[in-house]
A and B are shown apart, each in its own frame.
Chain A
Amino acid sequence: MGLIKDTFHNLQELRNSASLANKVFIQRDYSEGTTCKFQTKFPSELENRIERTLFEDTVKTLNNFYAEAEKIGGHSYLEGCLACVTAYLIFLCMETRYEKVLKKIAKYIQEQNEKIYAPRGLLITDPIERGMRVIEISIYEDRGSSGSSSGSSSVSGSTAR
């Protein structure tokens, strides 16, 4: 708990000394239908900020979580049939599997923010806060550096952190 508090203070300091420069939106990948999956294409704005492999790992893990939540198999048939028989009243009492996975996702994103993204001046917003349409990554610029306008983070010449 103490570690989390310290990390929150670190993120706090990040915000104290940094200002929001830009936001990158990772869009959905619909190639396999309407299941929730995000594109793993590396956005150019993050070129100097984070290693490609780290970013791709994060997105792939998130995609795996969503695939697990939406998987149709023995467990979901059982849940569906039981729900039907009880006139779907069990949804009011029980936490569904999807909600359990969403909690895991929230914890994972928080972990990633603390360990990987915040030290690089980035912050991931949980897709559920954006209607599962996009993964929003906020890019922070150090206030100490020369005032940069919001569109310039991808241009070469900016010093890497």
Chain B
Amino acid sequence: EIHIKEPIEKEVNPHLLPGELLLCEASTVYKYMQEDGSNRGTYGKLVCTNFKISFLDDDSASDDNEPQFKNKIVGENDITLQCVDQIYGVYDEKKKLLTGQLRKYPEKLIIYCKDLRVFNFCLRYTKEEEVKRIVSGIVHHSQTPKLLKRLFLFSYASAAPNNTDGRNQTVMFETLEDWRDELERTKGNVRYKAVTTNEGYRVSEKLPLYFVVPICISEESILKYEGRGIPIWCWSCHNGAALLKMSTFPKEQDDSTSQMQKAFLDGIYKTISKPPYELLKLDDLSSSLPSLQDIQTAYTRFKQLFLIDNSTDFWATDVKWFSLLESTNWLEIIRRVLKKAIEVAECLEIQHTNVLLIEESATDLCCVISSLVQVMMDSYSRTKSGFQSLIQKEWVIGGHGFLDRCNHLHKSEKEEAPVFLLLLNCVWQLVQQYPPAFEFTETYLTVLSDSLYVPIFSTFFFNSQHQRDTNRSGESLKTQTGPFRFLTVWDWAVQFDPKAQAFLNNPLYAEKPKPDKSQRKTARFKHQRQLSLPLTQAKPSTKRGFFREETDHLIKNILGKRIGKFINSADEPPNSLREFYDSWHSKPVDYHGLLLPRIDGPEIKVWAQRYLRWIPEAQLHGGGTIATAAKILDLMEEVQSLQVKMDEEHSQAVSGDVHSVPLLRNSARLSSLFPFALLQRQSVKPALPTSTWKDLEDEDDLVKRDDEFVDLSGDML
């Protein structure tokens, strides 16, 4: 059965980060390379630290096989404690979920990760006490509730004082200046102002220290209900229409209180509906989008499709792949969110109305929609630093509860919901539909999603700016050097060396031509041209025309519905939205202008890189998008070297800013799993579908037939 390779007694030590402590370890653990029944794998040591679970085999000591794309913090066989999704133990071929106290210890451990890796460890050859220690250690440290201060973030920050300034042009929105600059950039400063009312978190601990509200809103109204019922500015469109968000009042039992709240809201609406403000359109996201619960349920089902135990399982479910995918509802949720973002974009762009997004806390779906709208409408958000600034503005400082939504502390599963992942999935749809419009690649989005579970960055490990600020002071360590200096995830050099970072940049990004001073006018003209969408809806036309339009609509509606029954039974969005969508799609794309995603069913796709990257059954040798990318990179390299040659010929000018392009040329045909999977095996669908196989087993004649088959494998080796 298992071909036993002599376990090597060489001492392998885990690579520990500053502040990382080894908690427990077990030797002679057997890690399956592939759970396909072949039982091949390697022996090694399984360790658990206060940061990660790590498997160390003999190879991990030697570094000759350096992959091109390597994470410096989390290695191939490392799982950060926050990245562990579920742990199963196998007892006599039966799988059991391991959560708290264990009475019996399993012979096999299966770890499912949030980045969709699956690890299989066999503990049969490990000493019993070591099994006990490592299994309970892993389960305890990764699956049980934790105190915030016990996050590795703090030990790391105190042990490795961070002196780097890793902002790389990302606007952090921690200062009043940042907000004012953003107002100026979007030309929202005429009607909106950044306020300091929340200094010392006087208004609310949920709101950021500084935020932006309409100029006419008084400090008293902000303070009145802890910032609830106050429209908070997200972004201003070029035409002055603004995207706002607002957290609602919790449902009140008391009639008089709710009356007062209603009166307060009416007052607010009245003030910001008056000129100079545009008409106001309210959108209550809690009723127009799926609930967080729905999103969580859908994602839980969806990710199950990719957390695959073994090859047999894969092929067994493969028969039903499309119906399983459909039944998760995840793609439908992505579609609804994108559609909502298009609706909002239409209101801003065509109807010139302000849009006020309403949600109970204004920190979940509000963040998704407002970020998406900005990615679609503001080409700055499609650059790397612009996107990072956007995440800072809407999510990190905006107060999205990363800690609760990712359930990093295992406090309550009820709060868990992959809201940020939902955004990344939606942005990915745009990236793959319009690659030249984005400065970053899908690989960037994938590693960003992985960084959600790396607790050395503060970015995704707090619920709010307040929580971060109060925990930054390091009260328990008063004697220490002062406040912690956390790393931000935007300092990509922490995780990737320059060569690997090149994979995050899109070589085909259609860079915006830098506006020369002399060319300002043309630039502005261009800016306006992208708005050349039908603006007829904005202003009611003459009476006669209006009537005509009405009758046209009437006819369309009567007939449209009738024919619509057999043509398009799907619920059609309102006419103006449809027109907006159709007219935009009938024009050539301006990669620096408005970008609308295509949202017809088949256009919404599975983010293959993130979800299929560890599944060898789904890989294409020499195929996939990487095949084209490799060709393009080759070409770019050639163009660059020719450019250098030309420069040399023409002048003495030194061309120092030649971008480094990842060297793909010398590598063999890449697999579609590149740059993630290092395993290069091929799994082939069993000739007999499992179901048929079972049927056949009942037949007697199979035994007879058995003898007639010819074994070709032996001779063909």
Instruction: Say whether A and B bind each other.
Output: no
> Using a CB–CB distance below 8 Å, which chain B residues touch chain A?
none
> Using a CB–CB distance below 8 Å, which chain A residues touch chain B?
none
